[in-house]
Structure 1
């Protein structure tokens, strides 16, 4: 360890640590474009200049190691003048189109410009122009004029995906980012370049011109696209007189699970949360009053009792599984969580997994039957089957089941008229819960977006049937879930901020 001084503040850090990382870790704002924690240093933007006592000229913090006794200044007339000059170079050919730029509101260049306050242009020659709204493929749109040539996107396709679609073409002030001739940006993680871009050069074709970012409210959630369970932000907004709409998913940094990135499939998975929602309850194919259908559902489950089989989705939360086990014990009914949602062509060696369910590991750890043979055996003497979080009742029919079927799901589907009862439940982003990913990391999704759809939370339904008032995830953990052997090392209060790994795995 070494001790350095930054703007009069003493900081202890590792010997040789990159200065920019030390500054950022200690809450010292240092402008930068090319540096990114996942991509490392590049040293081309020169924005992170600092004064180091004893050096003849300012140094870039992204390529300067910390040494014992360093005295560093990030503020002051001299270094501010250097930063202002570098920023002026970045702005020479930059278009003045902030009012129509999707990045406005979360643009690093915009923020640094406001900090420096260089409002008068000294340019008396025409700007160098580049291509506007160029479709690179994979839902990414390029505006070459806005680019600051930080090369984050180039290094992402070179070092992370290793697909090498992007490069810096041409020379001098005509240098531009583009795809190589005859190629398209087409890898399954391509949309991450949008998050990496510090300006508005790379934007999402899907999100483009849909909503100003300062209207969006971020909620922390877990992706339910596959067993990786990437951490993400759900950006949503409720316009006046309208329902709450989700506009995009963004990666949320989690060093244990997904780092800084998510796949494009998971990123675009937000659409299902807005589309084709189940709006009504149905009893024998006829629309029903919500409260009447809820009471009917409770009566059916209690009436059939041991003749009931509940078939659970592998996308339910840990808390919901635990509560269904309580229901199973109290009413002597059976559970099964068979789910064949495996796609051998989907997974890769980065983030994507062939298992396209979000919580299969929890099913296994809670010892809920989940094989096809167990499902087939359970059906033999059952008179009522209730599917929860899924509507694929054909799998039950294919096993020659002839009894009554009910479905609790969030999205509409065909052949509702063939079922005894269909009841709407809140979708994935509408209910909080814990998920265990393929590597045994437990994460908590806090997202509870309230939509103007009459639907019920599963925990509320189970509390009503069990008549015990346990309706929150915290209640479930306190009333027994936290005592499960595999969760002994997991603390629910810490799950709110950080994922935790199950030690017994």
Structure 2
């Protein structure tokens, strides 16, 4: 176990592990210090020089991202001298930066904007025509656009493709004012985690083609959730907005830090999976392909349960929340039915990699295993009630609760998605995680629990 040492920052004592970086302490304790190039997943680079602090006994300011803590160290993160240093460095960062904040997609979550308000507020020493020009609109591939003029050369993106994905698509070319991020000639940014460079970019140099110009970030509401794309259970933010007179809409998924699961990142397929929650949704209640009322379908379902009592099988999706699964099991006991959850249909070896992507495409299959649910479904039954499972089987009558439109069945009932309600999932490593409700739709579909309550009432 690492030895703990004490040091002083801004006249306050802190205990920290010996050998750790000073900037990690400042970030953890929410001590305000600006930085562009440092990122906890990428380590120190030291090129932006913004994280300067004063250390007692040192002749000049030091960068916190490359300074190891020492016993008895005294640090000052504020003061006239250190703030002038930051202002001067920031002026160099801004000298060729374009004045296009009103049209930049990063506005509202831009470190450069924030730092300018804190340490800048100075007039430029050169005019706009004198600024060095670069290319403004480069399609790097994988839904990523590059604006070279906005780049502050923090090298986060290049280090990501070099050290994290090890695909080496991005590099910095040129010298001095003409240095810029680029791909090699004829090369595209095409790894399965490419869109993480958009999150890593502290300014508006790298933006998402999928999100560009769709929403200003200050209008977005955010819910904390878990990606349902595979059993890894990457933590995400669901960014959504309900415009006046319109429905609540998801605009993007972003990775949310969890050091025990996904760290800082997520795969591009999971990031873009929000689109599936908003397309081809089952919205109507169907009885023999005809739209009917909720009262009528519940009456018909109860009749079928009575007719087929003792010969009812229930199919349960392994992407449902644990609370929903428990409710289904209790419901099955009440109507004398058996519950099944075949898991082999979720296995996709082609999806798996050695970073985050799991071959198991079910977000909560671990809970199925813990509940000891039977995974082999009989071929025939009198009544088959399917709670959104992708499989089916022969039955005299079939009832399906569906989030999305599917093949015709005797009864089809619309079901809320994971973003429409809250609950828990257990990932493949046995980590239980909570998902918040994100959406408040104008005409929401009932959840599994709500449907069962309606049927049992």
TM-score (norm 2): 0.96
What is the deviation of 1:306?
A: 1.9
Partner secondary structure for residue 150 of structure 1: coil
1:68 and 1:310, CA in 2 relative to 1: closer, same or farther beyond 3 A?
Answer: same
2:418 to 415, 428, 439: 428
- Is the 1:294–1:423 Cα contact (8 Å) retained in structure 2? no
Q: Distance in 2 between matches of 1:119 and 1:99?
A: 19
Separation in structure 2 between the aligned mates of residue 80 and residue 64 of structure 1, nearest angstrom = 19
2:74 corresponds to 1:71: yes
CA distance in 1, matches of 2:438, 2:308: 32
Match of 1:43 among 30, 42, 46: 46
Kindly indicate whether the alpha-carbon contact (under 8 Å) linking 1:308 and 1:383 is maintained by their aligned counterparts in 2: yes
TM-aligned CA deviation for residue 454 of structure 1: 4.5
Q: Distance in 1 between matches of 2:395 and 2:299?
A: 24
Alignment of 1:53-92 (within 5 A): 53-92=56-95
| Alpha-carbon distance in 2 for matches of 1:402, 1:337 | 16
- Give the secondary-structure state (helix, strand or coil) at the position aligned to 2:82: helix
Report Cα offsets for 1:368-388 as digits up to 9, x if no partner: 1113xxx13xx43x2111111
Q: Secondary structure at the match of 1:306?
A: coil
C-alpha deviations, 1:143-184, integer Å up to 9, x for none?
000001010111111111000000011111111011112210
Aligned CA distance change for structure 1 residues 219 and 302 (closer, same or farther; 3 Å): farther
2:158 aligned partner: 154
For residue 303 of structure 1, report the CA deviation from its aligned partner.
4.4
- Compared CA separation, residues 132 and 465, structure 1 to 2 (3 A): same
SS in 1 for 2:349: coil
Answer yes or no: is 1:406 the counterpart of 2:409.
no
How many Å apart are 1:9 and its aligned residue?
1.6
**Per-residue Cα deviation, 1:389-441 (whole angstroms, up to 9, x for no partner):** 24x46x42xxxx2511111011123x43xx22110111121121111111111
How many residue pairs get aligned? The number is 452
Q: 5+ unaligned residues in a row in structure 1: which ranges?
A: 468-505
Find the aligned partners of 1:439 and 1:9 in 2 and give their Cα distance: 39
Are 2:165 and 1:165 equivalent residues in the alignment? no
Deviation at 1:301, TM superposition (A): 3.1
* Distance 1:46-1:279 versus aligned 2 partners, 3 A rule: same
Whole-angstrom distance in 2 between the partners of 1:295 and 1:37:
57
* Contact 1:165–1:183 (Cα < 8 Å) also in 2: yes
Q: Deviations over 1:91-147 (max 9, x none)?
A: 001001110111100000110001114231112571111111200000000000000
What is the alpha-carbon distance in structure 2 between the residues aligned to residue 452 and residue 297 of structure 1?
26
Measured against aligned partners, the alpha-carbon deviations of 1:21-43 in whole angstroms (never above 9, x if no partner) come to 11111110110011101000000
- Asked whether 1:27 is paired with 2:26, we answer no
Deviation at 1:355, TM superposition (A): 1.2
Structure 1 runs, 4 residues or longer, greater than 4 Å off: none
Counterpart of 2:433 in structure 1 is 443
**Following the alignment from structure 1 to structure 2, what is the Cα–Cα distance between the partners of residues 16 and 352?**
33
Alignment correspondent of 1:470: none
> What is aligned with 2:272?
268
User: What corresponds to 2:452 in structure 1?
Assistant: 462
Secondary structure of the corresponding residue to residue 241 of structure 1: coil
SS in 1 for 2:145: strand
How far apart in 2 are the matches of 1:448 and 1:330?
Answer: 32
> 1:262 Cα deviation (Å)?
0.4
Q: Paired residue for 1:132?
A: 136
TM-score (norm 1): 0.87
Conserved? CA contact 2:342–2:374, under 8 Å: yes
Partner residue in 2 for 1:502: none
- Alpha-carbon distance in structure 1 between the residues aligned to 2:423 and 2:412: 23
Q: In structure 1, what is the equivalent of residue 55 of structure 2?
A: 52
Question: For the structure 1 residues 302 and 460, does the alpha-carbon distance in structure 2 shift closer, same or farther, using more than 3 Å as the test?
Answer: farther
Which residue matches 2:296?
A: 292
Give runs of aligned pairs for residues 27-426 of structure 1, distance below 5 A. 27-124=30-127, 126-339=130-343, 340-371=345-376, 375-376=377-378, 379-380=379-380, 382-390=381-389, 392=390, 395-396=392-393, 401-413=394-406, 415-416=407-408, 419-426=409-416
Moved more, 154-163 or 287-296: 287-296
Unaligned runs of 5+ residues in structure 2 are none
8 Å Cα contact 2:253/2:272 also seen in 1: yes
* Bigger mean CA offset, 243-252 vs 18-27: 18-27
Tell me if structure 1 keeps the 8 A contact 2:238–2:438: no
Partner of 1:478: none
> What secondary structure, in the 3-state scheme, does the structure 2 residue paired with 1:305 have?
coil
> Quick check: 1:347–1:354 contact (8 Å CA) kept in 2?
yes
Q: Is the 8 A contact 2:222 2:239 kept in 1?
A: yes
